[in-house]
Structure 1
Amino acid sequence: MYQRALTNVEKVLKPDVARVMNAKTVAAFDAGRAQLAAAVVIERSALAKITPPRGLVSAHPAVLDAFDSYSGSVATNLSKAGETKTSCGLPKAPEVRLYEAKDGVRTAFASLAQSVQTSIGKGVKFGALSVPAKPVAPAVLGGRGENGDVFQRSGPRGSGSLEITNAGDDVVIVIAGSNPRSPQASIYVRANKKTTLSGIRSQDYWVYFKSGTNWDAKNHRFTENCSYQKFDDVFDGSYNWTISLAKTPLGNASSSETESF
């Protein structure tokens, strides 16, 4: 009887869980989340009326506690999804917010199921029918550019080059005059990789570099954990240069933080 009751709970909750996980917009997700939360409360009340078998008398209160904890778990797991900007101060993409929201509810519901299963032990099952698969993350999460990809280029080309050895995190190297937002060229360099930017014009330029995570290929920018810097010395485009983004015993060429670009 107890197994039948738990199975019925799963059958009731499964469509509500699916509605949340299949939502196409944040608004649809919010509506589905409210329905699921209400259903969890109703099913908890139904379970509370059951007289558990002798072997589960001590486990039954813990099962009810798991349902009681669901709303708080959802609130905790949705805190990140509620943020409208990334750590870099950029607008968070709707698909990222929706993914984080779904992942938050899925985590909370899986935690509920796990708590119930832990309470009742191996003889009774709960969760296999109703816990959904993890949502698929959008491409920008964990996104990286291709090593050596020159994704911005302006003006005529020259004969200069810049060889880059990157022993740090993924970076974008930007060569420009006084404004890195109007670059002569921008090139993506992956962590622990080497590449060469050629075709640099024979004029002085500055080397800017920015690092971060979750590369947005459409808008050519990192969206999380951003850092912006430039080398303090000017480079003569008439020559071929080599730079290394790594600390060495002999010291590094000095660099300074800059505004975002």
Structure 2
Amino acid sequence: MPPASGPPMGAGPYGPYPPVGPTPSSGSGKGKILAIVGGAVAVVLLVVLAVPLLLWMNGDSEDPRNTAGSGPGGSGASPSAAPMTPPEYQALLATVDKSVGDAFGKLGGAKSPKAVGTAVDGIEAAVEKQIEALSRVVPPPNAATAHADLLSALEGLSDSLAETGSAAGAGEVCLGSSALARLSRESSAQDVRAAQQALATADPAQSYQVGQFVPKKTSDSNRRLGNGKFLKRNRSGLGELKIENDGGTDAVINVVRNGSKSASISVYVRAKGKVTVGGVRDGTYRIYMTGGKDWDGKAKAFSRDCNFQRFEDSFKFSTTSSQYTIWTITLTPTAGGNARTSDVDPGDFPG
């Protein structure tokens, strides 16, 4: 039976593109009034200016400028406050670990760029809250230097978290696993580890513990499936879909029957790879594509550099007694291609 081929379809950006103001009069009484008022002002000024002198003479010699936390680098703790005892200080550090650690735990389960951004915002809020708490205390004397180092490291970590949130918004970081790996390699993470070690050895009688929330330094992974690996398949027809991925990243193609919210066919196509999907059942379909790096089989998504698109046109497959339909799509701009694509919110991408 000869095939009835559909027109070649282009895809882009990784991804499919084209389809395959009276002056007072002199001598009046106003001049006297003004003179009296002016004199009153002078008296008031003299009284006001005398206040600081009287206070100083009465023995209040504290200069407000010396209040802790009011100048650059001030800790916010009163200089007259008694240092915390080692147990009190360790209890505070434990609170830091729990608060920030719980927030980090939520990041690990993030399965979309939006979820990553939300989780990172939560960690950043927890870190800022603990920075404020640590800034208000006086640590045990032998832990003062390491305490200052910890504060500095946490401030740097807050900056790193903000950058990671921006990366998620740009699709550079798409899952919690890749966000954690990215954060684990930041210099701010290493600074927290250094402060952790310094606090652990600051007092021979008390090994202070903090910083357990920092993820272990991890390299990016690059997991891939084999070219043509089906994630989902429904073979009940004769139609064919030919896919050519001329792009530089792997992709997953989801074929969704009109009226359905889930894919009938989902296939992995490696960069520069070609796949022919046979057994497509007659009907009209929409085709969605996601591309990126490091395929997470559990999350069913790429963990880095992800993008989500769909063809704007539908694809109709039909079979007669003498012919069946073949469509060809190309996942890069193609000369002569006649298909347009549009971006899709990751949350609307059919599974």
TM-score, normalized by length of structure 2? 0.42
Structure 1 distance, partners of 2:254, 2:177, is 27
- TM-superposition CA deviations, 1:52-90 (whole Å, max 9, x none): xxxxxxxxxxxx99777423212212336779x95499x
Q: Which residue of 1 aligns with 2:333?
A: 247
State the shift of 1:166 in Å. Answer: 0.3
Structure 1 residue corresponding to 2:238, chosen from 142, 153, 159: 159
Structure 2 distance, partners of 1:211, 1:170, is 6
Q: Counterpart amino acid of 1:257?
A: S
Structure 1 residue corresponding to 2:268, chosen from 177, 184, 188: 188
Q: Counterpart amino acid of 2:336?
A: G
State the shift of 1:151 in Å. Answer: 0.7
Q: Counterpart amino acid of 1:72?
A: E
- Secondary structure in 2 matching 1:186: strand
Answer yes or no: is the 8 Å Cα contact 1:166–1:244 preserved in 2.
Answer: yes
State the shift of 1:185 in Å. Answer: 0.8
Structure 2 distance, partners of 1:221, 1:112, is 31
TM-score, normalized by length of structure 1? 0.54
State the shift of 1:138 in Å. Answer: 9.4
Alignment CA distance shift 1:99-1:185 (3 Å): same
Larger radius of gyration: 2
State the shift of 1:202 in Å. Answer: 3.5
State the shift of 1:203 in Å. Answer: 3.6
Structure 2 residue corresponding to 1:74, chosen from 141, 157, 175: 157
State the shift of 1:28 in Å. Answer: 8.3
Answer yes or no: is the 8 Å Cα contact 2:284–2:314 preserved in 1.
Answer: no
Q: Which residue of 1 aligns with 2:308?
A: 227
Q: Counterpart amino acid of 1:187?
A: V
Answer yes or no: is the 8 Å Cα contact 1:213–1:223 preserved in 2.
Answer: yes
Unaligned runs of 5+ in 1: 1-15, 50-63, 115-131
State the shift of 1:187 in Å. Answer: 0.7
Structure 1 distance, partners of 2:241, 2:105, is 50
- Secondary structure in 2 matching 1:79: helix
Q: Which residue of 2 aligns with 1:13?
A: none
Alignment CA distance shift 1:175-1:109 (3 Å): closer
- Secondary structure in 2 matching 1:239: strand
Alignment CA distance shift 1:97-1:171 (3 Å): closer
- TM-superposition CA deviations, 1:118-166 (whole Å, max 9, x none): xxxxxxxxxxxxxx99826599x65444321111124x52222222110
Alignment CA distance shift 1:27-1:65 (3 Å): closer
Computed over aligned residues only, the root mean square deviation of the Cα atoms, in angstroms, reads: 5.2
Q: How many residues align?
A: 207
Q: Which residue of 1 aligns with 2:190?
A: 110
Q: Which residue of 1 aligns with 2:114?
A: none
Matched residues, percent identical?
23
Answer yes or no: is the 8 Å Cα contact 1:230–1:258 preserved in 2.
Answer: no
Answer yes or no: is the 8 Å Cα contact 2:232–2:267 preserved in 1.
Answer: yes
Answer yes or no: is the 8 Å Cα contact 1:26–1:97 preserved in 2.
Answer: no
Structure 2 distance, partners of 1:48, 1:258, is 52
Q: Counterpart amino acid of 2:184?
A: D
Q: Which residue of 1 aligns with 2:4?
A: none
Answer yes or no: is the 8 Å Cα contact 2:181–2:215 preserved in 1.
Answer: no
Q: Which residue of 1 aligns with 2:62?
A: none
Alignment CA distance shift 1:195-1:86 (3 Å): same
- TM-superposition CA deviations, 1:29-51 (whole Å, max 9, x none): 98xx869x96xx969x75999xx
Structure 2 distance, partners of 1:175, 1:109, is 42
Alignment CA distance shift 1:75-1:101 (3 Å): farther
Answer yes or no: is the 8 Å Cα contact 1:162–1:197 preserved in 2.
Answer: yes
- TM-superposition CA deviations, 1:86-124 (whole Å, max 9, x none): 5499xx86x6398359617x632535899xxxxxxxxxx
- Secondary structure in 2 matching 1:254: coil
